[in-house]
Chains A and B, each alone.
Chain A
């Protein structure tokens, strides 16, 4: 089975702290994604990557950056956390293909910024 593992299920951080969210997948997928999920807004794409060292902005990249140094690992970085970044963060991976619809998600990281 495909496994996408997010390093932390629950985090509590203070405003202004730097936050790292790590994601690792074990299926050699080229594509990796970071979404945030908020009530009433659904899943919104923050960043994605279709290859090592490649990244593209999603719909809401402001306040975030990402790193993809190895194929299996995709990190989301909040340089200076703010309270409006309190959310559920979901990492996903998929195989290439313009109409590929199957994303494999991690269990999510619930971040609270105080």
Chain B
């Protein structure tokens, strides 16, 4: 299993739809997880953190399943502005160095009118 692996996408959804992305990770010792958002031709920015079973922030919900070693990101009532690449991130996924993060390859979301 890759250290961090995401649904490849792309996901094309209409406005108002609910969409979910999954991400699997290999290091069972990982304690925290993150979703980043990257707009086209921009740098990645932190969207949400997940430290326990889940986290909710408005239309966005991140859930963690430790037994199956995956995290998910759910977006409800999609907006055009949600179009971006969503990156799953796991700290120290390689089990080595301090402060190191491993990024998934990203899932592209396009929300259309």
State the A residues within 8 Å of B (CB): 31, 33, 35, 40-45, 48, 50, 56, 58-59, 90, 94, 96-103, 105-108
Contacts and interface: CB of A to CB of B under 8 A. Distances in A.
27 contacts: A31-B99, A33-B101, A42-B87, A42-B103, A42-B105, A42-B106, A43-B44, A43-B87, A43-B103, A44-B103, A45-B101, A48-B97, A48-B99, A50-B98, A56-B97, A58-B100, A96-B98, A96-B99, A98-B92, A98-B98, A99-B31, A99-B51, A99-B91, A101-B101, A102-B49, A103-B101, A105-B43
The listed residue with most A CB atoms (<10 A of its CB), out of B49, B99, B101, B104, is B99
A94 B106 contact: no
Contacts, number: 63
B34 A101 contact: yes
A90 B49 contact: no
Interface string B20-38: 0000000000011110000
Contact of A98 (B51, B99, B106): B99
Interface of B: 31-34, 42-46, 49, 51, 87, 89, 91-92, 94, 97-106
**Chain B: interface secondary structure?**
loop
A110 to B, nearest CB: 9
Given A42-B103, A100-B99, A105 B44 contact: yes
Top 10 A-B residue pairs of the complex, sorted by shortest distance between their CB atoms? A42-B105, A105-B43, A101-B34, A43-B103, A99-B32, A31-B99, A102-B46, A42-B103, A99-B91, A101-B49
A48 B92 CA distance: 13
Contacts of B46: 101-103
B108 to A, nearest CB: 11
Contacts of B106: 42
B89 A101 contact: yes
Contacts of B32: 99, 101
Nearest to B35: A101
Contacts of A45: 100-102
